Amino acid sequence: MQKIDRELLNMVQNDFPLMCRPYAIMAGKLGISEVECIDRLNALHREGILREIRPVVNWKKVGLTSILIGIEADPEKIDAVAAALNTLNGVTHNYQREGRLNLWCTLTFDGEDEKKRLIQFMKGQPGVKDLKEFASEKTYKIGLVLNV
Residues 21 and 88 grouped into a single domain: no
Residues 25 and 78 in one domain: no
- Quick one: 29 and 63 in the same domain? no
Tell me if 108 sits within 8 A of 66, measured CB to CB.
Answer: yes
In a domain, 109, yes or no: yes
Closest CA to 92 of 113, 118, 72, 130: 118
Both 64 and 39 in one domain: the answer is: no
129 and 80 assigned to the same domain: yes
- Domain match, 123 and 64 both: yes
Q: Are residues 27 and 78 in the same domain?
A: no
Give me the pLDDT at residue 143, please: 63
One domain, residues 68 and 106: yes
Per-residue pLDDT of the chain (148 residues; tens, 9 = 90+): 899 999 999 999 888 999 999 999 999 999 999 999 999 999 999 999 998 898 877 778 888 888 999 999 999 999 999 999 999 988 988 899 999 999 999 999 999 999 999 999 999 999 999 999 998 887 776 666 667 7
Report the CATH number that the domain containing residue 117 is assigned in CATH: 3.30.70.920
Q: What is the pLDDT of residue 36?
A: 97
| Residue at 148 is within a domain | no
Look at residue 141 and tell me if it is in a domain: no
* Residue 53 covered by a domain: no
Question: What's the number of domains the chain is made of?
Answer: 2
Task: Assess if residue 10 is contained within a domain.
Answer: yes
Give the residue numbers spanning the domain of 16.
3-46
Regarding whether 10 and 39 lie in a shared domain, the answer is: yes
pTM to 2 decimals? Answer: 0.69
